[in-house]
């Protein structure tokens, strides 16, 4: 125990002497948490729309006004022909083309049906899918309102209309910031803890102090614990700063217990720090450790469910996601912060992360060659 205390004292002195590490720990997470949630927004706006109105009727004008008033679309051209509007899509000046046929109002009222042409620039799949979906929904709602007006005063036969009333749970206002902030906070805690520990042992090797440590009567597990505990504490500091920024900047307050969040982050940091230390034991230079950690971090983030749903991934990606610790911290943060889940709800996640932490830290201790 006394040996471990001396090692911890040494590590903290090294950390506080390095101003770059302090800036990395304190400034970087705060700045990224303030900026990234505002940019990482799934909602698509300012979709460039071209309208080809061959009818020029009251109904077609009302439909166009309804679409523009939704706030999702920007009318970039009111074209006279489909061929001209298609050139705008080819030059990426437009995302969607809506063509209204001639006699649109007459056929709609007399024959009670009409078709519209919707052409989508699908080079950006996400924008194309969402833009087409938004426009289809607006047209459908406008059609229902128009039918109600037309049918007023007529005999009500086969006029059944289904009204759907939706209730949004856990995020009633459908605020993407509230959905993204917990996930981004999870990534920041992972990056800070992982990168700092990945550079730790290899830094000792580069400056030559590792040889002095190797000749001392320090056991391997004491050495690994001395490297792990300081960054475990700093990881908790980063997490606490992230919670404060989430509350101050975005008004996000955890619906669940903070003790549940901290209980999970305590175990999760052991897994991430153990992985960083494992990489450090295999690396010969800090540059090598950074490249290896960057490689794995990209995989962790892309397969963690932050930007894409894990359920929509192919089978092999789902298997990788289930051995990815980032998957579990993102899920737990969203469960506790947004849903108010308790310790019982996150026990499966906690158990898997505990197993990952045990395997990685045992591997790091075993792989550290003290006689190097």
Cα(285)–Cα(327) distance, rounded to whole angstroms?
29
DSSP state, 337?
I
Cα(210)–Cα(310) distance, rounded to whole angstroms?
42
Find out whether 259 and 304 touch, Cβ atoms under 8 Å: no
DSSP state, 169?
-
Does an H or E element contain 98, and which?
strand 96-100
Cα(267)–Cα(235) distance, rounded to whole angstroms?
11
Per-residue pLDDT, 276: 93
Find out whether 231 and 197 touch, Cβ atoms under 8 Å: yes
Along the 372 residues of the chain, how does pLDDT read in single tens digits? Answer: 777 887 888 888 888 887 777 777 778 888 889 888 877 666 677 889 999 999 888 888 999 999 999 888 999 988 888 888 888 888 888 889 999 988 888 887 777 777 899 988 888 777 777 888 889 889 988 888 887 776 665 555 555 555 667 777 888 877 888 888 999 999 999 998 899 888 888 887 887 777 777 777 778 778 888 888 999 999 999 999 999 999 999 999 999 999 999 999 999 999 999 999 999 989 888 899 999 999 999 999 999 988 888 988 999 999 999 999 999 999 999 999 999 999 999 999 999 999 999 999 999 888 887 654
Q: Cα 114 to chain center, whole Å?
A: 41
* Best CA proximity match to 334, nearest among 180, 172, 175, 174: 180
Residues 6 or more apart from 72 whose CB is under 8 A from it? 44, 45, 46, 47, 131, 134
Query: What are the residue boundaries of the structural domains of the chain, listed by start?
Result: 47-151, 173-367
Cα(38)–Cα(347) distance, rounded to whole angstroms?
32
Please give the model's pTM, rounded to 2 decimal places: 0.80
* Best CA proximity match to 170, nearest among 305, 336, 33: 336
Per-residue pLDDT, 258: 95
CATH topology of domain 47-151: abc type-2 transporter like fold (3.40.1710)
How many CB atoms neighbour CB 246 within 10 A? 22
Find out whether 317 and 323 touch, Cβ atoms under 8 Å: no
Per-residue pLDDT, 223: 81
Q: Are strands 47-53 and 73-79 parallel, antiparallel or unpaired?
A: parallel
Cα 34 to Cα 177, 214, 261, distances in angstroms: 11, 43, 21
Per-residue pLDDT, 163: 64
pLDDT in tens, 272-319: 999 999 999 898 888 999 999 999 999 999 999 888 889 889 999 999
Cα(228)–Cα(29) distance, rounded to whole angstroms?
20
Find out whether 105 and 58 touch, Cβ atoms under 8 Å: yes
Backbone phi, psi, residue 51, to 5°: -115, 130
């Amino acid at each position: 125990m006394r040996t471990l205390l001396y090692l911890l004292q040494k590590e903290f002195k090294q950390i506080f002497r390095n101003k770059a590490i302090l800036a990395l720990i304190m400034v970087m997470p705060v700045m990224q948490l303030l900026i990234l949630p505002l940019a990482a927004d799934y909602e698509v706006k300012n979709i460039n729309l071209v309208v080809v109105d061959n009818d020029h009727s009251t109904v077609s004008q009302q439909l166009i006004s309804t679409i523009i008033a939704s706030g999702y679309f920007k009318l970039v051209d009111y074209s006279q022909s489909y061929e001209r509007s298609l050139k705008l899509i080819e030059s990426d000046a437009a995302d969607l083309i809506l063509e209204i046929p001639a006699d649109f109002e007459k056929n709609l009222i007399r024959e009670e049906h009409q078709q519209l042409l919707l052409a989508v620039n699908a080079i950006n799949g996400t924008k194309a899918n969402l833009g087409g979906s938004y426009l289809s929904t607006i047209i459908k709602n406008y059609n229902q309102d128009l039918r109600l007006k037309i049918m007023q005063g007529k005999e009500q036969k086969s006029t059944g209309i289904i009204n759907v009333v939706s209730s949004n749970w856990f995020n009633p206002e459908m605020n993407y910031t509230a959905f993204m902030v917990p996930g981004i906070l999870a990534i920041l805690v992972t990056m800070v803890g992982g990168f700092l520990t990945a550079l730790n042992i290899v830094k000792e090797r580069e400056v030559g102090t590792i040889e002095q440590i190797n000749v001392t009567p320090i056991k391997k597990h004491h050495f690994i614990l001395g490297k792990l505990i300081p960054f475990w504490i700093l990881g908790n500091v980063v997490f606490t700063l992230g919670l404060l920024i989430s509350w101050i900047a975005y008004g996000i307050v955890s619906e669940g217990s903070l003790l549940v969040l901290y209980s999970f982050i305590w175990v999760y940091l052991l897994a991430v720090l153990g992985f960083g230390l494992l990489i450090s034991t295999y690396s010969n230079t800090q540059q090598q450790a950074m490249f290896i950690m960057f490689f794995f971090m990209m995989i962790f983030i892309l397969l963690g469910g932050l930007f894409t749903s894990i359920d929509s991934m192919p089978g092999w990606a789902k298997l990788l996601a289930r051995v990815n610790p980032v998957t579990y911290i993102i899920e737990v943060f969203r469960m506790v912060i947004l849903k108010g889940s308790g310790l019982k709800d996150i026990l499966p996640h906690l158990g898997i992360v505990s197993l990952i932490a045990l395997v990685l830290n045992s591997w790091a201790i075993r792989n550290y060659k003290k006689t190097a």
